[in-house]
Amino acid sequence: MASFAQCYGPWAVILGASDGTGAAFARAIAAAGIHCILVARREQPLADLAAELTREHSVECITAPVDLADADASVQVIAAASDREVGLLVTNAGADPHGALFLEQTSAAWESLLAINITNTLRCCHHFGGLMRARRRGGLLLVGSGACRGGAARLATYSGAKAFVRCFAESLWQEMKDDNVHVLHLELTTTDTPSFRKLLAEKGRKPLRGMTSPEDVARVGLARLARGPNYFWGQKLGLRASLRRTRVRLVTHLSGKFILEPAQADGQRL
């Protein structure tokens, strides 16, 4: 616990912290003695969670009721963090509340999904990741979905957004590993969250068997953060993660031959 706090403390920002996996991440992080900045749209669940974490783990908690689909959401998150030293960012928001065909929703609805998954994720990673790099310590944990592996009906915008998150995280892992900033894309399958249960109920479906618990997601995600760049939930062996690491290094090396000066490309570390 002390080692985890030394790597990723003293403060963590958790996006989408009001329930489900976000709240589970907050509880696990607070149990490690790290103070929490809890961000989500609904104010009361954040306040209740903050009170719980302070009571049970004696940590400080800041709540920031922010709609992460807003154009200035990242500005609000950064303002909530203020000058606190943030050593861990968990981008947990980004579920698809629609489960609809592309043309069944307005373009504005899909743009909101992109704002959560892409625009504000990018901006928060740029701000907090830059500070971590300067301190040469910290972690970025980007929660994604198995939808990142390909498109399907009713997944057009969601799968595209999640593919961005995966490639973005893998690239940051390569760029920041020499600065001692850990980056992990945590790729989930069906997880037992309130938002997913609500979507199933709206579609007239019962909860699925074998759904992953939010607590397991948080435990495994935080345990694998230092390994990066990608962990596919349910992959019992580490083979897939090691193959992704190899691929990222190889593409970095090959692209360097075209993008960097020759001397820089030759000196790249694989």
Sign (positive/negative) of CA torsion 229, 232, 237, 239?
A: negative
Structural domains in the chain?
Answer: 2-234 (3.40.50.720)
What pTM does this model have? 0.86
Please determine, for residue 174, whether its predicted confidence score (pLDDT) is greater than 90: yes
pLDDT in tens, 192-250: 666 766 666 766 777 767 778 889 999 999 999 999 999 987 655 444 667 777 867 77
Spot the catalytic one: 162, 177, 206, 257. 162
- Assigned token pair, 117: 């998954």
**Which positions ≥6 away from 222 have C-beta within 8 Å?**
4, 25, 28, 29, 141
Q: Is 158 a catalytic residue?
A: yes
Catalytic residue (choose from 158, 206, 231, 236): 158
| Tens-digit pLDDT profile for residues 109-135 | 999 999 999 999 999 999 999 999 999
Percentage, residues of the chain above pLDDT 90 = 70
Mean pLDDT of 183-190: 90
Q: Is 162 a catalytic residue?
A: yes
Provide the residue type at 77 as one letter. V
pLDDT of residue 266: 52
